[in-house]
Structure 1
Amino acid sequence: MYLITDFGALADGRTVNTAAIQAAVDACTAAGGGTVMVPPGTFVTGTIWLRDHVELHLEKGAILLGSPNLDDYNADDAFVQNMRSEREQWNGAHLILAVEVTDVALTGSGCIDGNGPVFFETEAPPYPPRFGWSQGIRHARDKERLRPGQMLLFCECSDVRVSGLTLRNACCWTCLFYGCEDVVATGLRIDNPPDAANTDGIDIDCCRQVVVSDCLIRTGDDAITLRANPQRLKDKTRTCEDVAISNCVLDTSICAFRIGVGTGVIRHTAIANIVVRRASTAFLLQSAYLPPSTGVAISDLAISNIQLHSVAFPLKIVSGAPSATALIENIRVNGLYGSCYGNCEISGSALTRPRRINISSVDLTVGPCVLDPAPAAYPDTFLRVSHADAVTLDHVRIAWRDQHPAWRRSRAVEDATVVIADTCDLPEPT
């Protein structure tokens, strides 16, 4: 066991302890592995590189606080898989890094704080009324140097465990697993401001054999994402598969689940026992995000026992950008309950058509938007299906409550094969 204070770390909330903490990590791995302990107190730090067979453990009351100085973080070219986005105003700096290591863990009941308020605009600029980001959206304060990227990044690692921690004030995605295998993320509390751009909760990209459970996520962007974007990986054959996500409570300004982004494969995923407290979209399955991407092939997903509250769009299964050719197929949604104020959509295009989409045991009340300000426009149709094949609905029920006058009909089908069982109850708005 290696205590960071034995290597000179000071919990005064001012001293930058990067070198001391890194020395403890390096000594631990040099001795064959073990635990690096962070005791109670606030330890300011720049980038920490995790090594093989090291568990970084934060005791209760321990805080790792990101340095306010970008010079204390890794350079964009520190490893070949690194990424940045000028469009989204974040660079390639990270607070905790694990690159091509095995048997690595972040644990404890302490806190990792990205110090987001230092790097974000102090106020959100005016933003058009809409379902998402109802409180506006803040970007980087420094438009030239941008803000740090993913707070925790595990890249092409194996045997990864992140558990018990509070993760807050991230400057970008909070925790990214990129090209990893055998990952467990459990018991995490993620807390980011609702107007902070790109502050995803947990991002799973090209990973295999992943378990996410028992997490509380409140954030300004997508709560949990499944991605398939292998272009920057050394092993470009990696897919996103064999993922189990369960027993989480999500509160987000955009998507509770975003599934897509990239040009690879997402398959064999189970999502169950989820409460969505707030979201623009609960489930977005989108093959292509932006052109000219051909999109992600998404298949064999099972979604069950989902409770919705303060959600606009419960479910969207869409091809996305007009360049999409990848296929979405074999999607099962069984058990979707609660309230919403937007619609559901299943749509393809002339290039690709979602198919074999089974939706059952749905009971939703469609009511007015609870956000302030209200969105600029409501949809006019609750269920819209177009350019899709083998879509089935069974035991699907909606009820209308104080609906907006924009609503015109319960469903619309265009160039699609849809079977609606007699067990469904889809009354027209009144």
Structure 2
Amino acid sequence: MHNNIITNFLALVIIVLFSHVNGQAQERSLDYYMKKTPFIMPEVTVPKFPNKIFDVTEFGAVGDGQTLNTQAFAAAINACNAAGGGKVVVPPGLWITGPIQMKSNVNLHVERGALVQFTSDHTQYPMVKASASSSRYVTASPIYGYKLKNIAITGKGIIDGAGETWRPVKRAKMTDDQWKDLVKSGGVVSEDGKLWWPSKEAIDGKKYLKEMKKKVDNPGPMDYLPARDYMRPYMVYLVGCENLLIEDITLRNSPKFVLYPNNCENVTIRHANVFNDWWSQNGDGIDISASKNVVIYQCNVNVGDDGICMKSSGDGPESGTYNVENVLIAGCNVYHAHGGFVVGSNTNGNVRNVFVNDCNFVGTDIGIRMKSTAGKGGIVENIYIKDVYMTGIKGAAISFDTFYQNVPAGTSRDTSNKKAEHDIPVFRNYYISNVYCLGANQSIYMSALPESPIQDIHMDDVWIKAKKGADMTNVDRITLKNVKTDIQKGPVYKITNGRDVTIDNGHMPKAAKVFIEASGDTKDISVVNTSIPNLKELVKTTDGASSKAVHFK
């Protein structure tokens, strides 16, 4: 009888827990997250299309893996656009094609079982203007469009950008056998043996462009053409578009960034899968550039560079505009990437009002990553990160860095210590809560230019298991409440030139010997509501820091 009661009770508990979890899952629709945003999130218009079907096979496309279908795809898209819009359907099959130029009111729908394979023949990629108003030419992207309205790429099929025929590969990123196979496949290896390029045109492209621009005042497409292989394109490049939907599709193997909406408004990316090999140079997943009113919902990303990234180019803080604004990222998974959620390094167009919620980062180099540098400038503020769960992070779980250097393939890191005297980036007003990380090399890393400390960062209910503790340099007004780090070595908090840092309900892991190591011009460090035996003896001051830098309340 007693066992029956226990069994029934456990069954009831399981039912209640399941109902609770299931109820939460039902609640967590896109509408649920939209209502949770901690700022006023405008309604993001999702494009709608007339019920008209334009099957690419009716325009001469053949899905046999041999026929080049560029003209057939273009004919279907043009017919759809001319008819006022509808759905261009790519049925199951293997479809070889050159670049696809999107048109307004067109939903490019790739059905399950369809594989759209962009051709490895680079002569099929013309030089086109970088945008509708640009005088600069670029290699045509596999999918591109300028100044369009109401466009979509949907369906459960796969689109492959033939990226392996475009991307350079670093020797350090491959095993010996992989490198040998790559070199045997063709291409050219750099003189130092550290970098493989797919062609001689690619390895010579940078030098050619530099010399060409010295000789030609207003270069046209034919002037840029010899550098086509070097100027590898983004895979999906949509500029100045309004009402954009990316849904259900799998995008993989890009020449450069996979998905790159630039200067767009009302962007919805949901249930998409984005994939690049981990060694993919500049193989970013989803990069939102200078765009507003953006939703990224229940997407999976596994790439060779930044996972989900905000980039904002523009005129700097003095313009008063925020080129990246009102962004919701919810229910997403990022696996291999340089960062799970990233801002930068382009920040000079300003970023604000971004909400990241219910995301998992597994095996990324850094979990939450903010990066910029002098010369980039811009203000990044009002960033909200909540309910993020991470594991296997190779670097810091949470990182802010305004000393970041981008090192393109074939170049070296600048060690001259030269620093721009203007355009200093500002990171401020971050709210990070309910973040858990099981396994990182470092818990928290903050390194700012002294002219512009990282400021007003609020962390609440954060737990990180890491090898090393937090390292914070040039920070101001930092609040760490219920932040617990289980580290193996070093101080729990190393603070250099820090001001007004509050540690509320701190935690001292068993392996740590020092709770706070304060150095330099550090002052007004407050430890409150923290019950740690002999706490005052666990504080160390070095390199000129005052013994009064840390206060206990």
The TM tier, using the shorter chain, reads 0.7 to 0.9
Instruction: Work out the CA distance in 1 between the residues paired with 2:494 and 2:139.
Output: 45
Deviations 1:78-132 (A, max 9, x none): 63567999xxxxx6331111210000000001111012233345x7413699xxx
Tell me which protein shows more strand as a share of its residues: 1
Please name the residue that 1:340 is paired with.
440
Would you say the 8 A contact 1:166–1:188 is kept in 2? yes
In 2, the alpha carbon distance for the partners of 1:358 and 1:278 equals: 25
CA distance in 2, matches of 1:423, 1:249: 30
Cα distance, 1:141 vs. partner? 1.3
How far 1:427 moved relative to its partner? 5.6
Once residues 321 and 133 of structure 2 are traced to their aligned partners in structure 1, the CA distance between those partners, rounded to angstroms, is 14
Instruction: Tell me the CA shift for residue 147 of structure 1.
Output: 6.2
Higher helix share: 2
Select between 102-111 and 308-317 the one with higher mean Cα deviation. 308-317
- The CA distance in 2 between the partners of 1:28 and 1:99, in whole Å, is 17
Counterpart for residue 15 of structure 1: 67
Alignment equivalent of 2:429, drawn from 322, 325, 330: 330
In the other structure, the counterpart of 2:42 is: none
Counterpart CA distance in 1 for 2:132 and 2:486 is 52
Matching residue of 1:409: 491
Answering whether residue 202 of structure 2 is matched by residue 117 of structure 1, we say: no
Structure 1 residues without counterparts, runs of 5 or longer: 86-90, 130-136, 368-380
Letter in 2 for 1:395: N
Structure 1: how far apart are the matches of 2:450 and 2:174? Answer: 31
- Among all aligned residue pairs of Structure 1 and Structure 2, give the percentage whose two residues are the same amino acid: 24
User: Could you tell me how far apart the structure 2 residues matched to 1:186 and 1:139 are?
Assistant: 35
Amino acid at match of 1:249: N
Q: Post-superposition shift, 1:425?
A: 4.1
- Structure 2 letter corresponding to 1:101: L
The reply to whether residue 391 of structure 1 matches residue 490 of structure 2 is no
- Asked if the contact 2:117/2:159 (under 8 Å) is kept, the reply is yes
Which residue number in structure 2 is paired with residue 355 of structure 1?
455
Question: How far 1:199 moved relative to its partner?
Answer: 0.9
Structure 2 counterpart SS, 1:383: strand
Equivalent residue for 2:83?
31
Provide the alpha-carbon RMSD of the alignment. Answer: 2.5
| 2:243 maps to which of 153, 156, 159 | 159
**Structure number with larger C-alpha Rg:** 2
Shift of 1:150: 0.8
Q: State how many pairs are aligned.
A: 393
Alpha-carbon separation, structure 2, partners of 1:5 and 1:353: 59
TM-score calculated relative to the size of structure 1 = 0.85
Q: Distance in 2 between matches of 1:84 and 1:6?
A: 36
The offset of 1:205, in angstroms, is: 0.7
Q: Within the alignment, does 1:319 sit opposite 2:365 as a pair?
A: no
Q: Does 1:60 align with 2:112?
A: yes
Residues 92 and 426 (structure 1), Cα distance of their counterparts in 2 relative to 1, 3 Å cut? farther
Aligned-pair CA distance for 1:148:
3.1
In the TM superposition, 1:7-406 aligns within 5 A as 7-77=59-129, 79=131, 92-120=139-167, 124-126=170-172, 140-142=197-199, 143=203, 144=205, 145-146=229-230, 148-230=232-314, 239-260=323-344, 261-288=346-373, 293-311=375-393, 312-320=395-403, 322-323=419-420, 324-337=423-436, 338-367=438-467, 382-400=469-487, 403=488
Structure 2: unaligned runs, 5 residues or longer: 1-52, 176-193, 206-228, 405-418, 514-553
Alpha-carbon offset, residue 305 of structure 1: 0.9
Cα distance in 2, alignment partners of residues 83 and 190 from structure 1: 31
CA-CA distance at 1:229 after TM superposition: 1.1
Which has the bigger relative contact order, CA under 8 A and spacing at least 6?
A: 1
CA-CA distance at 1:73 after TM superposition: 1.7
The separation in 1 between residues aligned to 2:75 and 2:247, in whole angstroms, is 23
1:2-57: CA deviations, max 9, x gaps? Answer: 01111111111122111110111001111111110101101111111111111010
Alpha-carbon spacing, 1:190–1:70, altered in 2? closer, same or farther (3 Å): same
1:396–1:425 CA contact under 8 A, matched in 2: no
> Counterpart of 1:377?
none
Matched letter for residue 385 of structure 1:
M
Alignment partners' CA distance in 2, 1:415 and 1:125: 39
Change over 3 Å in CA distance of 1:173–1:81 after alignment to 2: farther
In structure 2, do the counterparts of structure 1 residues 149 and 268 end up closer, same or farther at CA, with 3 Å as the change threshold?
same
**Cα distance change of structure 1 residues 174 and 328 upon mapping to structure 2, 3 Å threshold:** same
- Deviation at 1:262? 3.8
How far residue 259 of structure 1 moved from its aligned partner, in angstroms, is 0.1
Whichever residue aligns with residue 279 of structure 2, its letter is D
